[in-house]
Amino acid sequence: MESLPAKTIVTKTKSSAWFGSDYNMNIYRGCCHGCIYCDSRSECYQVTDFETVKAKENALEIIASELKRKRKKGVIATGSMSDPYNPFEKKNELTRNSLKIVHENRFGIAIATKSNLVTRDIDILQDIKEHSPVIAKITITTANSDLCKKIEPHAPDGEERFAAIKSLSDAGIYCGILFMPVLPFINDNRSNVLDIVHRAYDSGAKFIYALFGLTLRDRQREYFYKRLDEHFPNIKQKYINYYANRYECISPNVKDLWNTFKSECINCGISYKMKDIIKSYKSDYQSGQLSLF
């Protein structure tokens, strides 16, 4: 596995509005899940070989040093630019060992991943949960396995991800679904919304956070359009006609989809508003020694 130098890894977030995180931590750079829509291919991130996963040199030593020096405790988010549970993690265990450091320094953790490998680290997540907030966000864009293999070809399929949510939930870890992006003209339909919500309920998910659309720009748009030509003939022209060069490509069905999504989440007792999700997973850490959050 290739590596790259790093001076810092744990950085302060500009805002805690995104799932209540205070810091970002990306141990890896690049991702091999092959998702056709990934925004991290965009030129602004300056990652030219995005499909090649690289580990940051001396990552664990840097993380340990940085957390010891931070005066303010908080929730550390991981998975914003690369999946912390890529296939190399099974052997390298950089994410697992970083979670141990997070626990030792009494920080919380917010994980975003498409991999069921996250269940391997339930023991450490339970340890962190004893003193700090823990939230696991599993991205699931479709309950259709065949479609999943087209838009997320190298990631674990939806069945494995729903099973991961069930395992996390059964272990007492606050977890749910990132239902994003929902691709216009591909999976932006009522049936997919209902499948996701009902499967989430059956798996014990506490929340679903949805975005009915996607973002497109420069290299990312070019890559996405190539994959559309490969797997979804004639769909590219719909994007060109409907969105032109727009950055935000919201589904034409967004109103109906949102109403269906909201109604089903309410019926199933699943949170869908960001403020409610943050409040829920942090609610036990608002007094006493945990007032730091």
The whole-number pLDDT of residue 287 equals: 53
Label the pairing between strands 213-215 and 248-250.
antiparallel
Above 70 in pLDDT, residue 13? yes
The whole-number pLDDT of residue 45 equals: 82
The whole-number pLDDT of residue 43 equals: 87
How many angstroms from the chain centroid is the CA of residue 261?
Answer: 19
Of the candidates 108, 44, 16, the residue with the CA atom closest to the CA atom of residue 70: 108
The whole-number pLDDT of residue 292 equals: 44
If one counts the domains in the chain, the total is 1
Residue 225 falls within a domain, yes or no? yes
Query: How does pLDDT run across 54-113, given as a tens digit for each residue?
Result: 999 999 999 999 999 998 999 999 998 899 999 999 999 999 999 999 999 999 999 999
Query: How does pLDDT run across 226-264, given as a tens digit for each residue?
Result: 999 999 999 999 999 999 999 999 999 999 999 999 999
Of the candidates 243, 199, 187, the residue with the CA atom closest to the CA atom of residue 35: 187
Residue 171 falls within a domain, yes or no? yes
DSSP 109: E
Label the pairing between strands 213-215 and 207-210.
unpaired
User: Which residue range forms the structural domain that includes residue 188?
Assistant: 2-285
Query: How does pLDDT run across 45-69, given as a tens digit for each residue?
Result: 888 888 899 999 999 999 999 999 9
Above 90 in pLDDT, residue 217? yes
Residue 290 falls within a domain, yes or no? no
Q: Residue 289: pLDDT band by 50, 70, 90 thresholds?
A: very low
Q: Residue 291: pLDDT band by 50, 70, 90 thresholds?
A: very low
Residue 272 falls within a domain, yes or no? yes
User: How far is the C-alpha of 210 from the C-alpha of 140, rounded, in Å?
Assistant: 10
Residue 178 falls within a domain, yes or no? yes
CATH number assigned to the domain comprising residue 212: 3.20.20.70
Above 90 in pLDDT, residue 290? no
Residue 215 falls within a domain, yes or no? yes
Residue 291 falls within a domain, yes or no? no
Two tokens, residue 229: 């030509």
Residue 216 falls within a domain, yes or no? yes
Q: Residue 284: pLDDT band by 50, 70, 90 thresholds?
A: confident
Q: Residue 26: pLDDT band by 50, 70, 90 thresholds?
A: very high
- Region of 213 (left: φ > 0; alpha: ψ -120 to 50; beta: rest) is left
Q: What's this model's pTM, rounded to 2 decimal places?
A: 0.93
**Gap between the terminal Cα atoms of the chain:** 37
